[in-house]
Amino acid sequence: MHTAEDYFICAIADGLGNGPIARQSAQIVPKVLAEYHDETLDELLSRCNEHMVQKRGAAVAIVKVDYKRKMIQYSCVGNVRFYLLQNGGKMVYPLPVMGYLSGRPQRLKTQEYPYRKGDLFFLHSDGVTLKSPKASLMNSCGPYELYKKVLQTLERGDDATFIAGSLLL
């Protein structure tokens, strides 16, 4: 995660497999975000992909909130999901690009959506399974309540990473 005056950026990186080799791939993403957070999402994913050469690879999603334009951007390669519940109850669920970052050329596609103050978003790895994501978001008063609900659904065995947030600006 990185915050600036004009934007907020966060990412989930799920290294393929398990153990130190999977962790090595996942740890590339925070390093790239820390250094190049001001670049576009496609540029960030391309940088991450370049660092995955001769590594196991990772599923990666990045979300960037542009406070000035009131837009939220999402780009993903792999099975990391993103949901945005807009104030009127409309659920935004962009489809990710299938595959994973591995150093091979990738087709990247940043998607952009307007947001309003109070919109709720949720980003998660494949270790989280929600039977009804829309109901889970709609029945939560905010990100902390959503966090508690999701935590109760987690099963042992797979790693699970998620970010729940409310847009305040």
pTM to 2 decimals? 0.92
Give residue 49's pLDDT. 97
pLDDT single digits (tens) 87-120: 878 999 998 889 999 999 998 999 999 999 999 9
Query: Minimal CA–CA distance to 137: which of 155, 162, 114, 157?
Result: 162
pLDDT single digits (tens) 124-136: 998 898 888 888 9
Q: Which amino acid is at 54?
A: Q
| pLDDT exceeds cutoff 70 at 157 | no
Computed over every residue of the chain, the mean pLDDT equals 92
Backbone angles phi, psi at 78, to 5 degrees: 115, -170
HSE-CB of 18 using CA atoms within 13 angstroms: 5
Domain 2-166: state its class.
Answer: alpha beta
Rounded mean pLDDT, 28-47: 96
Distances (CA, A) of 103 to 27, 97, 115: 15, 15, 33
Give the SS3 label for residue 151.
helix
Q: How confident is the model at residue 152 (pLDDT cuts 50, 70, 90)?
A: confident
Q: Pairing relation of β-strands 71-77 and 81-85? A: unpaired
Check if the beta carbon of residue 75 is closer than 8 Å to that of residue 110.
yes
Rounded mean pLDDT, 37-59: 96
